Amino acid sequence: MQTASDFQAFRLARAKALDLRLEDFEENFHRSSGPGGQNVNKVSTAVSVSHLPTGTGVTAQDTRSQAQNRELAWERIFDAIAEARDAAKKAAKSAKEKVRRQTAKRPWKVKQRMLASKKKRSDVKKLRSKDF
């Protein structure tokens, strides 16, 4: 993103698309670690963003720039919330399909095949018990 207003527009649009309120997020800045020289030791370049209602949180400290880390953190939190929602939808659909399969009645031909197999096995066992 080129400017701060672009970032704000992105944030608002993405939050609206996911039906989230920006007031539900908490953003913290702290000192980064790793490469970056004196800059990361003196400037709070790492950004943590957490969504309070879901408890989802991310941290970005990939670059030396606080602004770039802030953009990365917001992208990651929105992606994480979207993925969690998709996973929940898939799990609910899967559970519903599982119940449907479990309660579905067997087709008539399948039942007849099972009964024929049982009858055949029964005949084999009866032959074992006879004395020759």
pLDDT in tens, the chain (132 residues): 678 889 999 999 999 999 999 999 999 999 887 776 777 778 888 999 999 999 999 999 988 888 999 999 999 999 999 999 999 999 999 999 999 999 999 999 999 999 999 999 999 999 888 765
Residue among 51, 47, 55, 50 at smallest CA distance from 72: 47
What phi and psi, each to the nearest 5 degrees, are found at residue 53?
-60, -35
pLDDT tens profile 64-78:
888 999 999 999 999
C-alpha 62/C-alpha 48 separation (Å) is: 12
Residue 56: strand, helix, or coil: strand
- CATH classification at residue 28: 3.30.160.20
| Cα Rg of the chain (Å, integer) | 30
Q: Supply the range of the domain harboring residue 28.
A: 4-129
Residue among 44, 79, 48, 49 at smallest CA distance from 64: 44
Structural domain count, the chain: 1
Asked if residue 15 lies in contact with residue 40, where contact means CB atoms within 8 angstroms, the answer is no
